[in-house]
Amino acid sequence: MQTIRVDTPSAKYDVIAGGGLIASLRPRIERVVGKLPRRVFVLTSAPIWALWGEAFLSSFAEPPVTLFLEPGEKYKNLASIERLLREMAVAGGDRGSLLIAFGGGIVGDVGGFLAAIYMRGIPYIQVPTTFLAQVDSSVGGKVGVNLPEGKNLVGNFHHPRAVFADIGVLGTLPERELKAGLMESVKAGIIRDRALVRYMEEHVDQVLARDAKALEKVISASIRMKAGVVNKDERENGLRMILNLGHTVGHALEQTTGYKLLLHGEAVGWGMVAALYLARERGTITKSQFERLENLIYLYGPLPALKLRIPKVVAATGGDKKNIGGVRRFVLPVGIGDACVVEDVAPAELESAVDYLLKQTAERPS
């Protein structure tokens, strides 16, 4: 069991990673918030609830009000938010209510946004059930939904009161989702943790076999890296932007494929390939570092093949929320274990990087 502290100017809370957390959830939550309020909501998805609902409810004397979000990125939108807000109001939710987000990254983002805006803000707990959500989206307080024009364009900063990442639920996670989530841990190593890069290279078989000790090592290291960055830059005014390595092109790939072909982690994986190519061309990493880091991405693949037009992908990067004043911001690795944000990536450079990644998708079997 690992406990990582998030300590920002506006919120302080623990992220707990380990086994057996769901079955003891109620007393763990009460240690954080005190006695449970009259109305507790749990936002989840039907597949997760079918697998883990009984275990979730086992520690609750009175079951929470269950709210359901359809699986899939296309439901991470304002229409879902309005429906869920109205369901909370009809069920008697008030300012003293508590919301528990129990699911993957989409459930966590939507649940956090619901909690941020219902009655001008209620407390919530993150209980992430996918690898990606455990190592990334459940930590740091960024919540929100998509617009047709781009991903996460509507949102807020609203930190959970606690995060309980139960490694046991990963046993039922489809292999493709596990590998997609591992892309965020690869990212964590590239930008901030050389030891994590080395561990993931040397223990790929144990990680992919879901060895509990290996998973706890990777998950806790990834969370610790992100918490350290968030503690220094809560509102993404500078350092926190490095957490978006691979996301500029990754979000563009998701948008141009209609959020139907790629899981988020897979898009980030291909986005990191583009970023590594740019970094090699600019000389912020060496050829050998480029080959080592690109190979690490493929070790935890394969990633889906893509047939896209370069101009369409490049155009979609213009809608990235990190851009300010029309300037595309791009995160590049600096060696292994460091990264920087650049604002001077020329269109020709970006086109070349997208061209490279698209060629790789054709050459490497998915």
Decide if 244 is catalytic. yes
Decide if 236 is catalytic. yes
Q: Which of 251, 280, 321, 329 is catalytic?
A: 251
Write the DSSP assignment of 41-56 as a string of letters. Answer: EEEE-HHHHHHHHHHH
Cis ω for the linkage preceding 302 (within 30 of 0)? yes
Q: Which of 26, 142, 322, 328 is catalytic?
A: 142
Dihedral (C-alpha) 21, 23, 26, 30: value to the nearest 10 degrees?
Answer: -30
Q: Which of 234, 236, 254, 266 is catalytic?
A: 236
Q: Which of 226, 280, 321, 328 is catalytic?
A: 226
Q: Which of 158, 187, 217, 264 is catalytic?
A: 264
Decide if 251 is catalytic. yes
Q: Which of 146, 151, 152, 184 is catalytic?
A: 184
Decide if 184 is catalytic. yes
Cα 151 to Cα 58, 221, 247: the distances in Å are 36, 27, 10
Q: Which of 26, 240, 280, 329 is catalytic?
A: 240
CA gap 22, 268 in Å, rounded:
29
Decide if 203 is catalytic. no
How many CB atoms lie under 10 A from the CB of residue 163?
Answer: 27
Distance of alpha carbon 121 from its chain centroid, rounded? Answer: 22
239, 300 contact by CB (below 8 A): no
Segments in 38-174 forming alpha helices (H): 46-57, 78-90, 105-117, 131-132
Decide if 240 is catalytic. yes
Q: Which of 179, 247, 280, 321 is catalytic?
A: 247
Q: Which of 152, 244, 254, 328 is catalytic?
A: 244
Residues classed as catalytic: 120, 142, 184, 226, 236, 240, 244, 247, 251, 264
